[in-house]
Amino acid sequence: MRRIDLRRGGSMIYVIMLMTMFVILSTGFLYMSRYSLEAVLQNRSYMEAQAAAKMIHQSYCLDVSNGSSAAMNRIWEEFEEDCLSLAGRRGAEELTEALEALEYRANGYGETGDLAVEMVLTARPGRGEATVDTQVTRHGYTFRLGAEIRFDDAEGEVLIIPLPQEDEQGEDGAQDEGEPDSGLESDEVAPDSVLESDEVAPDSGLESDEVAPDSVPESDAEPTDNAPAPDAEDPQAAVPDSLHFNMQGLGVYRYYEGGRSR
């Protein structure tokens, strides 16, 4: 009988163990590659969903700020109607406080494919501010975004609400009726006030047709510097008092983000 060489069997076991380790490492590498690929795909889906959410949110906020939003324009129309209805029954200070307390809200929802968008626009035109809350769902991810908008563009479109004016006819009538009564009729002349055209003042020594040497006719006389200038009418006095509300902003004042869930 031939003897078994133990060295040959040991080499075979070494080879088998080496192959087993190679298979285990290869399998682990495949699983790691698959996991990494899934993570990359999930991260890509997340980034796409986040980019879409921010783009939709920021685009709508800019529309609200520059006056291109149909929902915000309807709010301005409702605010103008409320202003006109309240202006006739309140004073300026009370009207301003009432308008600052007014709040309007518009909701919107849209869905297409795996994209769903819900927006809430809350506006306080009397204070010149608005907020936009947006919730976007895509690829299974939900993003909640917000923004604060201030209508501070003085060169943009302006809403003017005229304030009610007090009736001044009664005061004018009182001034006309309050003039002192001279006690003379329209054709009568006060005894010592004016001389007739043909009479001459006792101490003048001039006849009615003569002119004093040093006097100047009124038509040729030049106004002196000390003469009072006629009262100039203030152009703002003729403009009635009114309230002004800026309808556009210089951009989005502040963005903020909420949590996300899946």
Residue 238 in domain: no
Residue 110 in domain: yes
Write down the pLDDT at residue 261. Answer: 41
How many structural domains are present in the chain? 1
Write down the pLDDT at residue 101. Answer: 93
Identity (one letter) of the amino acid at 154? A
Write down the pLDDT at residue 61. Answer: 95
Q: What span, in angstroms and rounded, lies between the C-alpha atoms of 257 and 50?
A: 11
Residue 153 in domain: yes
What residue numbers bound the domain in which 74 lies? 40-164+244-261
What string of DSSP letters covers 37-105? HHHHHHHHHHHHHHHHHHHHHHHHHHHHHHT--HHHHHHHHHHHHHHHHHHTTS-HHHHHHHHHT--EE
Residue 4 in domain: no
Residue 145 in domain: yes
Residue 82 in domain: yes
Point out the residues of the chain with pLDDT beneath 70: 1-10, 165-240, 258-262
Residue 249 in domain: yes
Residue 227 in domain: no
